[in-house]
Structure 1
Amino acid sequence: MLKSSKGKTIVFLLMISLVGAIVYQFLTRPNYIAVSNWEVHESIDEVGWSAEKLNRAREYFDSLDSTAAMAIYDGKILFSWGDVTKNTNAHSVRKSFLSSLYGIQVEEDLINLQHTLDELNISDEPPLAENEKLATIEHLLTSSSGVFHKAGEESWSMRRNRPSRGSHEPGTHFYYNNWDFNVLGTIYNDETDSDLFHHFQNKIAEPIGMEDFSLYETEYKNEESRSIHPSYLFQISARDMARFGLLYLQEGYWGEDQIIPQNWVKESTSVQMEVPNNEVYDYGYMWWVATDGPFKELGLYSAVGRYGQSIDIVPEENLVFVHRVDSNRRTLSFLQGNVSQKERLHLLSLILAAKE
């Protein structure tokens, strides 16, 4: 009897958990219209889009683990799906945020992309080899430093694919390297004698009117058993990511103000390094740049993060598309959703097909 009662209790608890998971998924699906400072296209058809075809794209969105999506066309909201106001982990989209700050500092001659790790007094534990110290800031921006050191926030695939130390000279090999990206955070703070999160707030978030961004939801994550350089994590909403994307679509302008140097927008979103085994993208300065197929013809470039985060900018269609998967929902392991690059780009293709 005791074993039977215990078994029934376990089954009951599992059923409650499952119901909770279903309720959670349901609550993350509605359209959130509370986008207070954005103008909205009142008639999709009148601006050349098919509502019927966008509904098909929405059906595909609903079939994925996506939790929010948003498209900005001609500076106004085309559609808003899910909770676009909730701040969730941007994952590697953070790297494109930092790229924008580098552009501002390079324009002001406060950072020199040709400075080496040796000149910048960058170290780690275990120490860097002499040839590794020759890597420049530009090599870090293009993820080609040749420093294959352990790093914070690495995924399992990053660890599996990391080349051995000393196997490639700086600037000769692309490897998506969190050591490079995290060290760029350290260098930025050292060279500006400031804090990248505060700079992002003052130089970008406030000038372009981000509505949900908060310094309280940013974090330096230390994993000193791997590296002394922390990762810099952003919790940010879909609608604030859309503003950032629109800033780039407008070549760094917001109204009449030049927020990010125009030449940096062009340079950072142009191919700087070829990416082996990626059928869609090569790499700029912490931006992914489409170099094949129809996406190349549309001028697509993207800020991309783990589990399906993205800001996809399509200049030829005057479109910004933001896709989110809320990776904070970890009450049960199977709630950790994921949308692959193939699925996200298929969704984007369905959206673009709705343009008439």
Structure 2
Amino acid sequence: MQVFAFRFLVLVAWLVFSFTGNASAQPWQSTDPASSGWSVDGLKEAQDYAVTLKPTAVMVAQDGKVIASWGDLSRKVNVASVRKSLLSALYGIAVSEGRISLASTLADLGIDDKPPALTAAEKQATVRDLLMARSGIYHPAAYETGDMRRNRPERGSHAPGTFWWYNNWDFNALGTIYRQQTGEDIFQSFAQRIAAPIGMEDFSARDGRYIAERQSEHPAYPFNLSARDAARFGQLFLDGGRWNGRQIVPASWVKESTTAYSATDRGSMGYGYLWWTLNPEVFGPGAALASGYGGQAIAIVPSKRLVVVQIVDPAQNAKGVRTSNFVNLLQQIAAAAP
């Protein structure tokens, strides 16, 4: 009876968070950049550059405090492929709890897709291969861009684990595997396991949805996030997965997922477990980026103790912001930081 009562209370708490957001959320604290050693002129130059890009919001935090912000920080926007880095954090928790094994193959997990179905060779791809975008499975996928469809390698052209390609099939199948192995909905899980513990102010489980397309049985899972909530997620990773003394995501996973395992087609950027890595010669060791189409970005720069977030609402800026422009902005902000 006591167990039932406990589970009932947990369910009630989850329902309240899912539909109303986090009642215990704490607003960000701000600090004066000049008194913190920032170059005020350098920060102004970065802001002037950001204005030309027309983002919806930019937020700069150092040591967990807001240094500068521009735009509507509470506006929730579809952050596109940032969803993948959010899922990576949930994988870190599930792996640490023994609910998912990185060594499991798709054959082990019973993962397939609509005709033309996966081959026996493709089913030898592991969960880790998918996290690294190295599955070698080039089946049509949901939520692909035109470039993805046009540039997709031929089926069977690369064995699992041998070749990096930014592949929505991998990312969507990881969503299916997460739901299958944990028995949890992605958005409810994120709300309970990450958003609530770190005090996100705006996110609720209703801010995610599944997008299925006829060519694949694995749906995409886009999230809507505000800039100030996205910055909390960045701060969580900057702090090695800890929040207010509590380990939310294993520190080992934070390090592993933001380590470059592959060179990419984006110049000096590498790829970890659903995270992009940034040039260490420019940003120092451990710098990483969660990046989404149209200019959605959460960047962490450990050498400067920085989190920088940009969101772009297509209703306000249909052309979006190129990733290279955001990286230029990030470089200007980092140069202004003490």
TM above 0.5, yes or no, is yes
Q: Distance in 2 between matches of 1:103 and 1:195?
A: 16
Aligned partner of 1:321 in structure 2 is: 308
Opposite residue 142 of structure 2, the aligned amino acid is G
Comparing 342-351 and 82-91, the one that deviates more: 342-351
Aligned equivalent of 2:225:
236
1:63 maps to which residue? 52
Deviations 1:194-222 (A, max 9, x none): 11111100000000000000222210011
Alignment of 1:113-192 (within 5 A): 113-126=102-115, 127-192=117-182
Residue of structure 1 equivalent to 2:320: 338
Q: How do 1:272-311 residues align onto structure 2 when only pairs under 5 Å count?
A: 272-275=261-264, 277-291=265-279, 293-295=281-283, 297-311=284-298
Give the superposition deviation at 1:163. Answer: 0.1
Which deviations, in whole Å up to 9, do the C-alpha atoms of 1:46-78 show, x marking residues without a partner?
Answer: 101122221111111111131110011111001
AA paired with 1:200?
F
- Of 21, 25, 29 in structure 2, the residue corresponding to residue 39 of structure 1 is 29
Q: SS state of the match for residue 39, structure 1?
A: coil
Q: TM-score, normalised by structure 2?
A: 0.90
Q: How many residues align?
A: 313
Task: Using the TM superposition, give the Cα deviation of residue 300 of structure 1 relative to its aligned residue in structure 2, in angstroms.
Answer: 1.4
1:106, distance to aligned residue in structure 2 (A): 0.6
Is contact 1:65–1:337 with CA below 8 Å preserved after alignment?
A: no
Give distance in 1, aligned partners of 2:280 and 2:112. 38
Look at both structures and tell me which one has the larger radius of gyration over its CA atoms.
Answer: 1
For 1:233, what is the secondary structure of its paired residue?
coil
Rounded Cα–Cα distance in structure 2 between residues aligned with 1:244 and 1:337: 26
Please list every run of at least 4 consecutive aligned residues from structure 1 whose deviation after the TM superposition is greater than 6 angstroms: none
| Structure 1: gaps spanning 5 or more residues | 1-34
Q: Does 1:111 align with 2:100?
A: yes
Q: Distance in 2 between matches of 1:36 and 1:189?
A: 30
Contact 1:281–1:292 under 8 Å retained in 2: no
The 5 Å alignment of 1:15-34 reads none
What amino acid sits opposite 1:197 in the alignment? F
Question: Could you report, residue by residue, the CA deviation over 1:92-150 in whole angstroms, capped at 9, with x for unpaired residues?
Answer: 00000000000001101110011111111111111111100100100000001000011
Distance 2:278 2:40 in 1: 27
Measure the CA separation in 2 of the matches of 1:258 and 1:292: 26
Displacement after TM superposition at 1:353 (Å): 2.0
Tell me which of 84, 87, 90 is aligned to 1:98. Answer: 87
Aligned mates of 1:210, 1:72 — CA distance in 2: 15
**Gapped runs of 5+ residues in structure 2?**
1-24
Q: Percent identity?
A: 46
Alpha-carbon displacement from aligned partner over 1:255-286 (angstroms, at most 9, x marks no partner): 110000011111111112222x3212111000
Matches of 1:217 and 1:264, distance apart in 2? 25
1:250 aligns with 2:239: yes
Q: Distance in 2 between matches of 1:50 and 1:122?
A: 52
Letter paired with 2:249: I
Matched residue of 2:218: which SS?
Answer: coil
Q: Determine the C-alpha separation between the residues in 1 that align with 2:55 and 2:94.
A: 35
Structure 1 residues 310 and 199: CA distance shift in structure 2, 3 A = same
How big is the shift at 1:298? Answer: 4.8
Residue 347 in 1 paired to residue 329 in 2? Answer: yes
**C-alpha distance in 2 between matches for 1:139 and 1:258:** 26
Task: Report the AA paired with residue 124 of structure 2.
Answer: L
